[in-house]
Amino acid sequence: MLDRRFVHVVATARCGSFTAAAERVGLTQSAVTKSVADLERQLGFLLFTRTAHGVILTDDGRHFVERASRLIDEAQDLLRGAYTGSDPYAGILRIGVCPASIEWLLAEPVALLVSRHPDLRLDITAANFERTAEKLRSGAIDIAFGFEAAFDQEPDFRSDELPPLRTTMFARRDHPILACEKVTFAELAKYEIISPADSRPYDIFMRQIYEQSDVDAQTKIHFIDSFPIVAKLVAKTDAIGVASVDFAGTEAFTRRFARVPFLESHDPAPLCCATRLRMPPRPATRAFIKACHEAMKPARP
């Protein structure tokens, strides 16, 4: 069987602290800390940088955890097969979503996936790009769902492109920008904008709006991926938000808000499923990617 220290290291990487890892593996914090330190001494390098708020993987630690995660997952798959009739899709599929505001897009793919593989169990979490990418590297999640522009900048990930998400800017119905004959960068730069993510593709595009008008973007951009909060701010202030074109066509939306036709004149941002480049996707991971392709229809022109 695998060295139990591998399990302790992977749990620490996935939980972000020795205390949380100890709770996961059913040991004391001191036992997990000692186990990891023993392994580090044997390896001859540090796996984690210790901080007051937890632990952070070193570069060597990231590579080690990636390989240890693969060994643990493969061992679990082998053992699971012995007790489940060798169903390669049984077990837990861990999916990370970034930003959280696009989590709703997984409703149809997930329903399709589970209908095909009833023994599969899902663990879906949402976070910002940096946290999701770190969880993918450490093996805390099996696959990430997000914008391709963010993941294709990472050399250790493989991205599988999905249809783009068509988005629009929106404001409250009596917003002064709606009186403009044509919405320009200069007009948008007069107002605060709420971006759903501080990573690509939104971060660069939003900053360009203000840079072209010599306005400091840091004083104007909010990064909020909770749509209820965004909707409340847009309804109560002059801030301009971002929503999907599909949602912007619903009665619930048009009762309170109006589209600001600016993003719609630009190419929509492709989505993707991202996996670790050096770790072949499990059957359940491949099945999820297939379900996404089948359930997510290409954007309408």
CATH number, domain with residue 222: 3.40.190.10
Residues 159 and 180 in one domain: no
pLDDT bucket at 86, cuts 50 / 70 / 90: low
Distances 219 to 181, 186, 225, 273 between C-alpha atoms, Å: 26, 16, 18, 33
CATH code, domain with 3 = 1.10.10.10
pLDDT number for residue 90: 81
Residues 136 and 279 in one domain: yes
Express each pLDDT in 280-293 by its tens digit. 888 999 999 999 99
Distance of CA 284 to the CA centre of its chain: 18
Three-state secondary structure call for residue 96: strand
- Structural domain ending residue among the three candidates 85, 109, 138: 85
Residues 278 and 135 in one domain: yes
pLDDT number for residue 291: 97
CA–CA separation, 71 and 2 (whole Å): 8
Residues 230 and 189 in one domain: yes
Domain holding 14, by residue range, is 1-85
CA–CA separation, 271 and 62 (whole Å): 26
pLDDT number for residue 295: 95
Express each pLDDT in 169-208 by its tens digit. 999 999 999 999 899 999 999 999 999 999 989 989 999 9
Residues 196 and 73 in one domain: no
Alpha helices per DSSP H over 84-226:
107-116, 129-138, 148-151, 185-188, 202-211
Residues 139 and 195 in one domain: no
pLDDT number for residue 237: 97
For helices 4-15 and 129-138, angle between their N-to-C axes, nearest 10 degrees: 180
pLDDT number for residue 1: 61
pLDDT bucket at 70, cuts 50 / 70 / 90: confident
Other C-beta atoms closer than 10 Å to the C-beta of 300 total 7
* Domain count within the chain: 3
Does residue 201 have a cis bond before it (omega within 30 degrees)?
yes
Residues 61 and 195 in one domain: no
Q: Is the pLDDT of residue 300 over 80?
A: no
Residues in contact with 139: Cβ distance below 8 Å, sequence separation at least 6, in sequence order = 10, 13, 14, 65, 66, 68, 69, 70, 73, 276, 279
Residues 292 and 277 in one domain: yes
Express each pLDDT in 160-178 by its tens digit. 999 999 999 999 999 999 9
Q: Is the pLDDT of residue 258 over 50?
A: yes
Residues 205 and 71 in one domain: no
Residues 178 and 261 in one domain: yes
pLDDT number for residue 9: 95
Distance of CA 269 to the CA centre of its chain: 15
CA–CA separation, 46 and 40 (whole Å): 6
pLDDT number for residue 278: 81
Express each pLDDT in 44-59 by its tens digit. 999 999 998 899 999 8
Express each pLDDT in 104-152 by its tens digit. 999 999 999 999 999 899 999 999 999 899 889 877 789 999 999 999 8
pLDDT number for residue 195: 95
Residues 161 and 300 in one domain: yes
The mean predicted confidence, pLDDT, of the chain is 90
Mean pLDDT, rounded, for 245-256: 94
Q: Is the pLDDT of residue 301 over 50?
A: no
- Structural domain ending residue among the three candidates 63, 85, 107: 85
pLDDT over 70, % of the chain: 95
Residues 229 and 277 in one domain: no
Three-state secondary structure call for residue 68: helix
> DSSP characters for 193-219?
EEES-SSTTHHHHHHHHHHTTT--GGG
Mean pLDDT, rounded, for 4-11: 94
